[in-house]
Structure 1
Amino acid sequence: MSDGLSISLKMLLIGAVIFGLLVVLMLVLLCCDVCNRSQGQKRPFFSLLNHYLTRRAAGVLSLLQRRRLELSTKKILQVQQDALLYSIRRNRNTQYGELFRFSEITDRETFRRLHPLTQYDHYKESIERIGKGEENVLISERPRYLSRTSGTSGSSTTLLSTRKTANDFHQAFGVVFNSMLNVYPRTGNLQRTAMFYYLPNWSNSESGIPIGPNFPFPLTSKLNLNMYSTPGAGFEIATEPEAMYIHLLFALKDRHLGALEASFASTVYHSFAFLQNKWEQLIEDIWLGQINPKLKITDDVRMKLRAHLKPDPRRASELAAEFGSGFRGIARRVWPHLNLVLTVDSGSNELYGRHLKHFYCVGVPVYSPVYAATEGLIGVNLWPEKEERHYLLWPLSIFFEFIPVDLCSEGQPQTLFLDEVKENELYELIVTNTSGLYRYRMGDIVKVVGFHNQCPVVEFKCRRGQFLNVRGEKITEGAFYRTLLRAVSLWPGAMLLDYCCAESGLLGPFCGSSDPHYEVFVEIKGVRNLSEDQRYKLDQCLQEDSERYQSFRRKGSLGPVRVHIVAAGSFKELTDFIMANLGTSYSQFNMHRILRNKEFLDFIQRKVIS
């Protein structure tokens, strides 16, 4: 019996030794993998380990989220039916649900028959009541936020945002992370990301509901701050110039930076423009290991940030040499290991994305990850490597309907369901979400460019109503942008930095011409002035690109385009002015390419220099 016990003890001891060796081997492999992925960074090991484990966990979670999305696209009818009925059943006992007989809705056909197509005026009074504290009006829960739209139609509106909306964004960025790793595997290394994030301007409704952007917080917490170049205190800065300075300061300190991230390409572009003006101050701070004394931040934030700095003359000298060589391709020169720029560069941000790819970030891939709006998450880009910005519709939460573009002018046109749309056709998007919007005409015009399994893949084309349309010519924002680029290419030495336009009718009696026409404001680089012949090139290009415009010009119904050059930095000032007036923030702002607001037009007119 003692022999048997002895053998058991020996076996147990051998097993413990083997287990211990395996644990040691795993730890050694883990340490080797961490060191290999660190790309030679001089960071504390536990900081790298935290980053490593966070990335690993995110990778596993993102794979599960990708599989869930893939599965949903293979049974699209059931998934869409579930998304619709979830919203209907959840809110059927609200005042709105009782008014529109939600208890009778059992499928999409009944829903389409019982509920009309809607626009914002349909909800305005109900949202105001919710803001004052009334409950059970549109949705059964208290909204998490009241979310402002970006106001591209001329005025900002307010919608409801629920916890489900935030969850959708988190799931979508899981899918984005998976797509990113598949195409750009080096993004899995332990390099930090420079996130250009700015605190939104918060206010509260009468009942204390926060009013701000739909997705206000960065994906940062105490657990994953090691993934970002800016210390946590940097995300507490409330003013945009100071926050931008701090983001750039800590990004420049990190030679091994792996990615740049922001909600929109405009934010990244303006950060580089800011860098171009402030690089000498930033280098001085890096050399001395200080926070610029003139920077208007609180003493508490300054002290927290100062703890992450020490003098680095070597890095400062390296940066000075690169900046002294000019700013073309500067991103890859100051960050040799930069793998990716993660930012939305479709729609009104296309011009900023173009500047990044062809000037500041030459050679660095730009991935436009999501198609989102205040109404919720619309789509996700599964193809980071493609130049075209195509988005798979997100079928899990929003119930989609579509209006063929030639029926958009009708009040209650017949809609198509998600499984009824056709490739290469244009549609207006209709959404029903969990935040109290039902058959809502959000105003986006999209083109169905294909299908992923059974789910449509779309390309954003324009906003409904965002046309230059004096006489019925209907030149879309996208079409005008392409024509403007062609005209600028005919101005020797000129580079288009930014632009907007307006119909002359918005000027009233001060339009300066008896014939209605387009007023175009451009910020350009490389030339100080344009001749009248050069300015007229834009009108000629518009006539070549649009037969209807050409017809009205020949009839004399439209006057020639008037082109104005504005001072450098004017569009950044216009951005700040619009946001201050509409109460929006950088996390959701899109430049207004076609101005509909007289105040905004007056502002940019005051910046004209030629």
Structure 2
Amino acid sequence: MSLGCDFSVLEELISNAKKIQDNVLDKILKTNANTEYLHRFLEGSSDKELFRKNVPVVSYEDVKPYIDRVANGEPSDIISGEPITTFNRSSGTSSGNQKIYPTNNIYFENLLFGYALSSVVMSKHVDGYKQGKMMIFRFTHQISPTPCGLPIAPALTSFTKSKYYSRMAKNSTSPYVVALCPDPKQSMYCQLLCGLVQRDEVVSVGTTFPSVLVQIVHFLENYWKELSSNIRSGHVSDWITDLSCRDSVSIILGEPNAELADLIEKECRQESWQGIITRLWPKTKCIETIVTGTMSQHIPALDYYSNKLPLVSKVYASSEAFYGLNLNPLSKPQHVSYTFLPNMSYFEFIHVDADGEATSEIVDLVDVKLGDYYEPLVTNYSGLHRCKVGDILQVTGFYNNTPQFRFVRRKNTVLCVDVEPTTEEDISKALARATVVLESSDLILTGFTCYGDISTVPGHYVFYVELKAKVNNGTNVLQLDNKVLVECCCVMEESLSSLYRRLRGDEGSIGALEIRVVQKGTFDSLMEFFVSRGSSISQYKTPICIKSAEALQVLEDKVLARFFSDRSPTL
């Protein structure tokens, strides 16, 4: 697809959502009706009503045996009329399990089209966006072959290494080859070095997910002296051994620049790193990273480092499909809604109540109702048919004829130590209340996760938090106030569900909530752990709940102090 999109293309799409959705389904059914999977239900027909009547709603686990057969060497037409060219591997940090999804070139064309449209939207809302450069950090993971010989990799890795992404990378501060570097440390260093040299051209800073951007700031804290030295000497550090990185970055680095080196040292040597992004990159207009749902836990740290620049969640996409765009990119994170693009896949929606329990109603994209909650189903060009995504969305409005959705949470219960179902949304609300208490004491939350500890009787919730003082006290030792941290425990419990509060209080079947403060850099180590197990840095999201005993040990080894709620929550 052409990158020459303009706003009229978007207007046409969302003005004709029903017709486009019907055409998408018709094309998918005509292409896939004779696959082994669909033929069982349609017997070669491409009739839409027969599709809705006969083809079942499924989860990933239902179609996994078919996907595995193709991955193991059987023909693509088991599930897809279009040849499968790649398998996308999910990060596994949300669900705890990595999944693989069949993919073909249509998926990558859709990504390219969606990102091109998102740039059109950004240009409309951010002055100088097209004229400036993006310091958007990209990383790629190793591509492995499946038994059939097709590549398998995280979706963003496959896209970044494809011919499609190379057409998007032209306004980036980093050469394309730097994103392809297999060593994440060398890649991160080189992307920072390129960004610093071009600091006056940068209008946007970002990563796909904010946990990575927070880690990049930590990396900068550790390496700013060396980066400055490279700029002062005009020479890239010898430990950058990837020749493609070294050669391309050396061209950007150019001649020695003592003036820029002095400026970097002056800013990074200050006691406080508040606003460090805007101090080093003064023309930055926004931070591009997804801060909806549980990603909102990183908002306080990003606000601190960026002097509260707008946090832009541009797109809603997954390994299954590209869904939609944020047409009001400068909106506050809590007000972000995504307008679905009807040409990407065929979308249906299971109506659910506010707790995420399904009703019997399934509706098309244009038939959802304002204010109601839904779980999306995807029928795509790569072999998924009426497949549950596992997200809960709420309809917030309509743009022309196309609905806009707020991401509420992942569907599954996250924490449970008795019979209480605690969701991502519950935890996000609890965290938001604790953050207010921390900020009043000049502390910033830079990392967070939790787990349900049932080794104690009764079981209780444990929250691991990494904290940073707003101003360095000169000792690099974090001062922890028992009263403040205990109050955090209490306000978190107050914001959890009425069932949790009852079980915690009168019935006593849940123990006092615990906060364990961990050492600086612990969540960087947690990310390194998951990356070493196959997760991609670009797609890494700090797990909201830890399910791996090994990952839990990474946290336990670095616990500094423990605090417990000292009162039962009100009922």
TM-score (norm. length: structure 2): 0.88
Distance 1:299 1:420, change over 3 A: closer
Question: How far 1:290 sits from its partner (Å)?
Answer: 0.9
302-311 or 518-527, which moves further after superposition?
302-311
Q: Which residue of 2 aligns with 1:498?
A: 447
Bigger Cα displacement from structure 2, 122-131 vs 419-428? 419-428
- CA deviation map 1:33-82 (0-9, x unaligned): xxxxxxxxxxxxxxxxxxxxxxxx95xx221xx43332232232222222
- Number of residue pairs matched? 539
Q: 1:566 aligns with which of 518, 531, 541?
A: 518
Partner of 1:4: none
Gap change, CA 1:233 and 1:310, over 3 Å in 2: farther
CA offsets, 1:5-32, max 9 Å, x none? xxxxxxxxxxxxxxxxxxxxxxxxxxxx
Partner residue in 1 for 2:480: 529
Aligned ranges 1:210-221 → 2 under 5 Å: 210-216=151-157, 217-218=159-160
Using the TM superposition, give the Cα deviation of residue 242 of structure 1 relative to its aligned residue in structure 2, in angstroms: 1.1
1:557 corresponds to 2:512: no
Counterpart Cα distance in 2 of 1:539 and 1:105: 57
Q: Measure the CA separation in 2 of the matches of 1:206 and 1:241.
A: 30
Tell me if the contact between 1:484 and 1:538 (Cα under 8 Å) persists in the aligned partners.
Answer: no
Q: 1:92 and 2:33 equivalent?
A: yes
Structure 1 residues 600, 379: CA separation in 2 closer, same or farther (over 3 Å shift)?
same
Structure 1 position 185 matched with structure 2 position 127? yes
What aligned pairs does 1:433-444 form with structure 2 within 5 A after superposition? 433-444=380-391
User: Which of 399, 410, 417 in structure 2 is aligned with 1:452?
Assistant: 399
- Offset at residue 223 of structure 1 (A): 6.9
What is the SS of the residue equivalent to 1:592?
Answer: coil
Q: Separation in 1 of the partners of 2:345 and 2:355?
A: 21
The AA in structure 1 aligned to 2:18 is: L
Q: Distance in 1 between matches of 2:263 and 2:310?
A: 24
> How far apart are 1:278 and its partner, in Å?
1.1
Post-superposition offset of 1:240: 0.9
List runs of 5+ in structure 1 lacking aligned partners.
1-56, 506-510
- Equivalent in the alignment of 1:306: 250
Distance 1:220 1:89, change over 3 A: closer
CA offsets, 1:495-531, max 9 Å, x none?
A: 21111011123xxxxx2x2102111111112344353
| 8 Å Cα contact 1:153-1:596 kept in structure 2 | no
Please say if residues 466 and 594 of structure 1, whose CA atoms lie closer than 8 Å, have aligned partners that are also in contact: no
Residue of structure 1 aligned with 2:415, choices 465, 468, 471: 468
Structure 2 portions without partners, runs of 5+:
470-477, 562-571
Name the residue aligned to 1:338.
Answer: 284
Output aligned runs, 1:108-123, within 5 Å. 109-123=49-63
Counterpart CA distance in 1 for 2:364 and 2:166 is: 43
- Indicate conservation of the 8 Å contact 2:211/2:298, yes or no: yes
Selected match of 1:289 from 230, 234, 238: 234
How many angstroms apart in 1 are the aligned matches of 2:514 and 2:86? 42
Q: Please show how residues 257-276 of structure 1 align to structure 2 within 5 Å.
A: 257-276=202-221
Given that 1:348 and 1:592 are in contact with CA atoms closer than 8 Å, whether structure 2 keeps it comes out as no
Measure how far apart 1:320 and its partner are.
1.4
Cα distance change of structure 1 residues 596 and 363 upon mapping to structure 2, 3 Å threshold: closer
RMSD: 2.4
SS at match of 1:197: coil
Match of 1:327 in 2: 273
Change (3 A) 1:303 1:332: same
> Which deviates the most, 261-270 or 422-431?
261-270
2:99 to 147, 157, 179: 157
Matched, 1:514 2:449: no
> 1:605 aligned to 2:549?
no
The one of 42, 61, 67 equivalent to 1:101 is 42
Q: 1:66-145 counterparts in 2 under 5 A? A: 66-101=7-42, 103-107=44-48, 109-135=49-75, 136-145=77-86
Question: Could you say if the C-alpha distance between residues 405 and 225 of structure 1 is closer, same or farther in structure 2, counting changes exceeding 3 Å?
Answer: closer
Deviates more, 1:402-411 or 1:486-495: 402-411
Cα displacement (A) at 1:304: 4.1
| Aligned-partner Cα distance in 2 for 1:503–1:174 | 42
Superposed displacement of residue 131, structure 1: 1.0
Which residue of the partner structure matches residue 260 of structure 2? 315
CA distance in 1, matches of 2:43, 2:18: 20
State the alpha-carbon separation in 1 of the partners of residues 325 and 545 from structure 2.
26
Question: Cα 1:540–1:194, aligned 2, differ >3 Å: closer, same or farther?
Answer: closer
- CA contact 1:490–1:537 (8 Å) conserved in 2: yes
SS at match of 1:331: helix
- Cα–Cα, structure 1 residues 602 and 100, in superposed 2: closer, same or farther, change >3 Å? farther
1:364 maps to 2:306: no
Contact 2:350 2:359 in 1 (8 A): no
Amino acid of the structure 2 residue aligned with 1:523:
E
SS across alignment from 1:285: helix
Kindly provide the CA deviation profile for residues 247-273 of structure 1, in whole angstroms up to 9, marking residues without a partner as x.
Answer: 111111113122224222222222122
SS of the equivalent of 2:208 reads: strand
Secondary structure of the residue that 2:480 maps to in structure 1? coil
Q: Tell me the percent identity.
A: 25
Distance 2:490 2:444 in 1: 18
CA contact (8 A) 1:194 1:230 kept: yes
Equivalent AA in structure 2 for residue 277 of structure 1: N
Deviations 1:337-360 (A, max 9, x none): 22333222223322234422x211
Report the equivalent of 2:568: none
Q: 1:103 to 1:447 in 2, by over 3 A?
A: same
User: Are 1:199 and 2:140 an aligned pair?
Assistant: yes
1:145-174 Cα offsets, whole Å, 9 max, x none, are 111112111111111111111111111112
Q: Secondary structure at the match of 1:276?
A: helix
- Which structure has the bigger radius of gyration? 1
Task: Give the one of 87, 90, 110 matched to 1:168.
Answer: 110
Q: Name the structure where helix makes up a greater proportion of residues.
A: 1
TM-fit CA distance, 1:176: 0.9
Indicate yes or no: 2:189 matched with 1:240.
no
Once the 2 structures are TM-superposed, how far is the Cα of residue 411 of structure 1 from its aligned partner?
8.7
Find the residue that maps to 2:393 and give its secondary structure: strand
Tell me the CA shift for residue 544 of structure 1.
Answer: 4.7
1:575: which partner in 2?
A: 527
In the alignment, does 2:547 pair up with 1:596? yes
Deviation (angstroms), 1:449: 0.8
Tell whether the 8 Å contact from 2:14 to 2:401 is kept in structure 1 after alignment.
yes
CA distance in structure 2 between the partners assigned to 1:333 and 1:117 by the alignment: 51
- Tell me the CA shift for residue 401 of structure 1: 1.8
- Equivalent position SS for 2:445: strand
CA contact (8 A) 1:400 1:430 kept: yes
TM-score under structure 1 length normalisation: 0.83
Q: In the superposition, relative to structure 1, how do residues 560 and 82 fare at CA in structure 2: closer, same or farther (>3 Å)?
A: same
TM-superposed CA distance for 1:404, in Å, is: 2.4
Counterparts in 2 of 1:378 and 1:234: CA distance versus 1, 3 Å = same
Does the 8 Å contact 2:14/2:341 carry over to 1?
no
Amino acid at match of 1:504: D
* Pairing partner for 1:250 from 194, 199, 209: 194
- Residue 88 of structure 2 corresponds to which residue in structure 1? 147
Q: Sort the Cα spacing of 1:469 and 1:224 in 2 relative to 1 into closer, same or farther, 3 A.
A: closer
| Aligned counterparts of 2:357 and 2:258: Cα–Cα separation in 1 | 66
